[in-house]
Amino acid sequence: MIIIRNFIATDTESVQLIYTACTRELREVYAPKPNPKDQLLNGIGTNLRIVALDDSGNVIGVTEYIPQSLFLYVQGIAVAQTHRRRRVASALIEYTAKLAVELGLPALSLTTIKETGNVEVFKKLGFIEIEERISDRFVGIDGKSITEVNFWRNVP
């Protein structure tokens, strides 16, 4: 059973371990460009987090999100390698969709890097690809251009 709840201070170390491991995997594919253009989203307030817990209360996943005026932006989602393919990401996205409804927002939005292989993951989670473009913020580790893919998912 997966339990989803708001992030609390005692989750910090576990979340950092998950982020570090996931970032290490992503950095095998791409990295931020030196001095990328400032393209931060202008959220209402700060980035917020929810966490997924296993039956023992261990943090096994995290989602960071930013409420926008027209949608809830999923800034990041990370699942511990030991718990992948166990519907943790699905549970986090479903909970995030409920938060969007509570905030009166009609949709979720997110961006991923095509070369990571995550495009199909997000399609399986109910997202629709709305735009694909060469990234001006990131570069492949081989120095080649990479592709950012924007997704949208309406919430009930």
Q: What is the pLDDT along the chain (156 residues), one digit of tens a residue?
A: 899 999 999 999 999 999 999 999 999 999 998 864 444 444 344 679 999 999 999 999 999 999 999 999 999 999 999 999 999 999 999 999 999 999 999 999 999 999 999 999 999 999 999 999 999 999 999 999 999 999 999 998
Cα(11)–Cα(8) distance, rounded to whole angstroms?
6
- 3-154: CATH number: 3.40.630.30
Strand pairing report for 72-79 and 107-113: parallel
Its pTM stands at 0.89
At 46 the pLDDT is 63
Which amino acid is it at 153? R
Question: Where exactly are the structural domains of the chain?
Answer: 3-154
Burial class (CB within 10 angstroms; exposed 0-12, middle 13-18, buried 19+) of 57: exposed
Torsion over CA: 29, 48, 8, 127 (sign): negative
